[in-house]
Amino acid sequence: MRSRKVLLVIAFLITWTYITYYILLRSSNPELSKSQFKSLARFLPHAQNENIKSEKLARNLIEFLKVRYLEDQDVPTTGTTPKISIIAAEISDEVADVAEKVTPARIPTQTHLANGEPVIPILVFACNRVSVKDCLENLVRYRPSLKQFPIIVSQDCGDEATKSVIQQFGKQVTLIEQPDQSDIKVPPNEKKFKGYYKISRHYGWALNTTFRVGFDFVVIVEDDLNVAPDFFEYFLGTHKLLKKDPSLWCISAWNDNGKANVVDTSQPELLYRTDFFPGLGWMLTKDLWAELSVKWPKSFWDDWIRHPAQRKERACIRPEISRTRTFGKIGVSNGMFFDKYLKYIKLSTDFVEFTKINMSYLLKENYDSTFLRRVYIYPLVTYDELRRNLIAIKGPVRIQYNTRDQYKRLTRMLGLMDDLKSGVPRTGYHGIVSFFYNGRRVHLAPNANWKGYELSWS
């Protein structure tokens, strides 16, 4: 009786899929307008995908019927036939798979606005911190369009209190829940890092789930971030760079050296390229996710992504003044680091109309031929001259470092981050770390015949 019902459901699903597919084919007549054609082109791969799946279902179904009704005579009457159970299990697996797809479908499915602009989901990672409320209030308040920037909150950990905080935002946000709450086996010496394994699993699932809808871009935000008033405008103004320039792989809203005393507060529109992956409010493309998702690591995804094997010499865009600020993390990451450093990062308060700014100065060929060239023309000074204000000329200057130890010493004295990941200093571009000091632009730079980053400097 039960298997009959299952068969009926399957038969219905298959018929439905075929009819949809047929109608779709029929409607592809030559009179299609350009925009209709475009949306069809976007839809077709999904349809094909579904079709392949339904064919597989059909094959299994036929197999099932063959076994059930043709080979029945040879089957011993006692007990169940292994073959039947195996196929039945396969079918119900696939049915479950189809059913599961229905849940994430609550994510808005429109990938482009009528005017062709992309819909850019803001994917917020939440777990068990009710302070996600601050983060969401901020995002909802500054969001210029609900349609263009759907906020998807992905929750891991299944914490009820956090879930109900998220649900209070009603239709303003879409809640999705990481379904795999199974324990993760970690090597004994990494037990204390289990949190990082969970984060990695959560990122992998949520990004897969979101990009599967077909969006070209996704912006990632963590539950402990506040965003600036022009956070959305920043990504709107820069997203085209990611498509245009293959040497870019992310847009980040974060300046690792964004403390109020080392940024130029009169230049909130200023942006930089950086070889260092900053994270903390960042945008990636569908293509990059296709590349990374198949080798996504089990833990420490941020260190992994900074490794040359992933980065492949690509850069990110970062602002002079941060468009995100972390309000403190209790949990997996280090609280000390927050007290010592992160809490001094300045969150931009201006609204810069990034969409009206010509961003082509950030494309690699333009940037390298202006920024890099200029840095090495600026006068070379020492830290001491800078600190004691002994520089007679106005304008930007350069301080040189040659060794890792020099780099560490200088950054500590200057009040900058002194660490490097995969040999890349925070905010560095071709080894150059640019900041503001005593009212002056300063570039901490390696010598002019720099050969590339040294992994051993990390």
Ligand X SMILES: *[C@@H]1O[C@H](CO)[C@@H](O)[C@H](O)[C@H]1NC(C)=O
> Residues interacting with ligand X, by CB under 6 A?
204-205, 208, 293-294, 296, 358, 360-361, 366
Which CB atom, from 232 or from 367, has the smaller least distance to ligand X? 367
- Of the two residues 157 and 391, which places its CB atom closer to ligand X in the complex? 157
Distance, CA of 183 to CA of 199 (rounded, Å): 13
- In the complex, least distance from residue 204 CB atom to ligand X, rounded to whole angstroms: 3
Rounded Cα distance between 79 and 76, Å, is 8
* Other beta carbons less than 10 A from residue 253's beta carbon: 30
Query: Comparing C-alpha atoms, which of 188, 151, 180, 179 is closest to residue 166?
Result: 151
List, by residue number, the catalytic residues.
Answer: 302
Strand 248-252 relative to strand 315-319, pairing: parallel
* Token digits of residue 269: 């529109």
- If you count them, how many residues does the chain have? 458
Q: In sequence order, which ranges of 66-170 are alpha helices (DSSP H)?
A: 82-102, 132-142, 160-167
> Could you give the CA distance from residue 56 to residue 423 in angstroms, rounded to a whole number?
48
CB of 371 to ligand X, least distance (A): 12
Q: Which is nearer to ligand X, 6 or 363 (CB)?
A: 363
Residue type, 436: F
Q: For residue 295, give both structure tokens.
A: 């080798």
Place of tokens 């009704």: 69
Q: Residue 33 or residue 358: which is nearer to ligand X going by CB?
A: 358
Among residues 16 and 361, whose Cβ is nearest to ligand X? 361
Instruction: State the minimum distance, in angstroms, from the CB of residue 361 to ligand X.
Output: 5
Closest approach of ligand X to the CB of residue 291, in Å: 11
Of 261 and 366, nearer to ligand X (C-beta) is 366
In the chain, the amino acid numbered 452 is G
Distance CA 221, CA 205 (A): 15
Say if CB 118 and CB 204 are below 8 A apart.
no
Is the Cβ of residue 40 or residue 357 nearer to ligand X in the bound state? 357
Radius of gyration of the chain (CA): 27
Angle, helix 82-102 to helix 2-27, in steps of 10 degrees: 50
Q: How far is the CB of 2 from ligand X (least distance, A)?
A: 30
Residue nearest to ligand X (CB): 204
> Is the CA virtual torsion 12, 53, 87, 101 positive or negative?
negative
Select 207 or 442, whichever has its Cβ closest to ligand X. Answer: 207
| SS3 of residue 143 by DSSP | coil
For residue 258 the two structure tokens come to 């964004």
Task: Specify whether the CB–CB gap between 190 and 160 falls below 8 A.
Answer: no
Q: Minimum distance from CB of 451 to ligand X (Å)? A: 29
Instruction: Decide if 190 contacts 203 (C-beta within 8 A).
Output: no
The tokens describing 347, both together, are: 């969150």
Count CA atoms closer than 13 A to 168's CA, side-chain side. 12
SS3 category, 420? strand
Residues 370, 429 contacting (CB under 8 angstroms): no
Least distance (Å) between residue 56 CB and ligand X: 15
**Measured from the CB of residue 297, what is the shortest distance to ligand X in angstroms?**
9
349 in Cβ contact with 229 (< 8 Å):
yes
Instruction: Please report how close the Cβ of residue 318 comes to ligand X at its closest, in angstroms.
Output: 19
Distinct helix (H) and strand (E) counts, the chain: 15, 15
User: Which position has the token pair 């390298």?
Assistant: 368
Closer residue to ligand X in complex, CB, 295/451: 295
